Amino acid sequence: MSITSDEVNFLVYRYLQESGFSHSAFTFGIESHISQSNINGTLVPPAALISILQKGLQYVEAEISINEDGTVFDGRPIESLSLIDAVMPDVVQTRQQAFRDKLAQQQAAGTMVASTSGNQSNAPKNGEATFNGEENGTHIMNNHSEPMEMDVDVAIPASKATVLRGHESEVFICAWNPVSDLLASGSGDSTARIWNLNENNSSNSTQLVLRHCIREGGQDVPSNKDVTSLDWNSDGTLLATGSYDGFARIWTKDGNLASTLGQHKGPIFALKWNKKGNSILSAGVDKTTIIWDANTGEAKQQFPFHSAPALDVDWQNNTTFASCSTDMCIHVCRLGSDRPLKTFQGHTNEVNAIKWDPSGMLLASCSDDMTLKIWSMKQDSCVHDLQAHSKEIYTIKWSPTGPGTNNPNSNIMLASASFDSTVRLWDVERGVCIHTLTKHQEPVYSVAFSPDGKHLASGSFDKCVHIWNTTSGALVHSYRGTGGIFEVCWNSTGDKVGASASDGSVCVLDLRK
């Protein structure tokens, strides 16, 4: 048997990531030098640490159930072992002794009472050990129900799904070009990729590899850091990426590096182009946000107002933006102003994501405190405090509907994705939940509205992409991939959904009839 500290650290790192402790995972990954290990993360299945712990627990239970002479104790343990019990020698020894005492009692009773059962026996067949009285250990702890059988009526056929392979590690993010069917993806393999899914693609190559390198000893070497964020500019000519190596980068759609933006001290967690396309906004672990000049690559202004890592940013207009942080605060700042225009306080745990509605009047925020809050620049306290989720809310999205959108006659909605395995759709004007979407079996990491607002895509660590009718809440399409889904996104025409996964795959679902 061989166990290395690198292997243990990697499994703990993955457990933290999969459980939603992304910032703890980041810190642990840095301190344990995960990026320098030779473990190929794409080959390690989700829930690997839990799986191996379950097997170890079964082994201890089997050990207790088997006598010194190798025979199986014939009887059901009074209660199954907990994980903590299993690592405490006193508990294991006491349980073993109790079994032996009970066995001795049974044997003594057996010599006094003549057997009338003939050759019948309760012993397992073929010498198989019983675990908690169930053959073959079928009682394995399972925190989630078995994967649901997919309804044939909604299942997307394999012929309509294109699986793109090339990334060598988890793919955390993906985003469609706003004007053509180019799909960008960002991964833990320190690359972003641009996949050409245009029907008239004449080139042989379907992917461009954007390698994130740093200068060492006068030459470019791979940064070995996750690509954490990416965003296309509004005319689809440039792609911005943010990385754990602390640099933001601007690339042409042909995959050429146009500029490198370096002023953050540590990983970048989010970045966004403004609508005009002259500025990029980034949020970092260094507690700051920065507005960059997209033409020169220079930092226009750095905003040092958070007291802990900044997790997300969103533009209200071309010069004003909001930022949120693990410090539980939301700041609204403007280029040229040396203090926040507004600070919203009310969340009781870190704020994971923020989004302005299409009109720029309302700001939505979601948090590890399990609440969703709606804010207005006209008041200090929140307009709505929406409480319905039972676990952390990871992300939120506004529908592209209502005043100021291409769908002005449709009501505006807000979607929230949670680690409680549900997606909720909200009527923000009334402050009520319209639909609770419950088909997922694991944490939901991403939601995205179709361009017309009539459908919502959701992606979960249960490997499923579900597509819902936003009016009725009905499930209309479903696809099971090969890895946990980190991100889903719609193309500009609303007929394709992209999804990025934990096993390094990127899939594209064609929803045309």
The pLDDT of 152-160, averaged and rounded, is: 90
pLDDT (tens digit per residue) in 331-358: 999 999 999 999 999 999 999 999 999 9
Quote the CA–CA distance of 383 and 365 in Å, as a whole number: 12
The pLDDT of residue 39? 85
The residue among 172 and 44 whose pLDDT is bigger is: 172
For residue 423, what are the β-bridge partners?
417, 437
Residue 143, pLDDT above cutoff 50: no
pLDDT band, very low/low/confident/very high, at 132 (cuts 50, 70, 90): very low
DSSP designation for 5:
H
Mean pLDDT lowest among 134-138, 174-178, 222-226, 472-476: 134-138
Mean pLDDT lowest among 105-119, 131-145, 476-490: 131-145
Q: Is the dihedral of CA 320, 325, 331, 334 positive or negative?
A: negative
Mean pLDDT of the chain: 87
Of the chain, the percentage scoring pLDDT greater than 70 comes to 85
Q: Which residues contact 493 (CB under 8 A, 6 or more apart)?
A: 451
Mean pLDDT lowest among 137-151, 420-434, 473-487: 137-151
Quote the CA–CA distance of 375 and 387 in Å, as a whole number: 15
Quote the CA–CA distance of 75 and 140 in Å, as a whole number: 18
**8 A C-beta contact, residue 246 and residue 284:** yes
The pLDDT of 82-102, averaged and rounded, is: 72
The pLDDT of 221-240, averaged and rounded, is: 93
The three-state secondary structure class of 323 is: strand
Pairing of strands 134-135, 130-131: antiparallel
The pLDDT of residue 116? 40
The residue among 71 and 442 whose pLDDT is bigger is: 442
Mean pLDDT lowest among 142-151, 178-187, 390-399: 142-151
The pLDDT of residue 149? 56
Q: Which residues contact 307 (CB under 8 A, 6 or more apart)?
A: 287, 325, 327, 329
Highest mean pLDDT among 27-36, 88-97, 116-125, 127-136: 27-36
**Cα distances (angstroms) measured from residue 375 to each of 321, 350, 358, 366, 508:** 14, 16, 14, 11, 35
Residue 137, pLDDT above cutoff 70: no
Pairing of strands 268-273, 289-293: unpaired
The pLDDT of 445-465, averaged and rounded, is: 97
Mean pLDDT lowest among 31-35, 137-141, 307-311, 373-377: 137-141
Within 13 Å and on the Cβ side, how many CA atoms surround 20?
A: 22
Mean pLDDT lowest among 10-19, 237-246, 257-266, 477-486: 10-19
The arrangement of strands across the sheet holding 247-252 comes to 227-232, 238-243, 247-252, 257-262
The pLDDT of residue 379? 96
The pLDDT of residue 33? 83
**CB atoms near residue 97 (< 10 Å):** 11
Most distant CA pair in the chain: distance in Å?
Answer: 95
The pLDDT of 256-266, averaged and rounded, is: 94
The three-state secondary structure class of 130 is: strand
Quote the CA–CA distance of 440 and 505 in Å, as a whole number: 20
The pLDDT of 233-252, averaged and rounded, is: 96
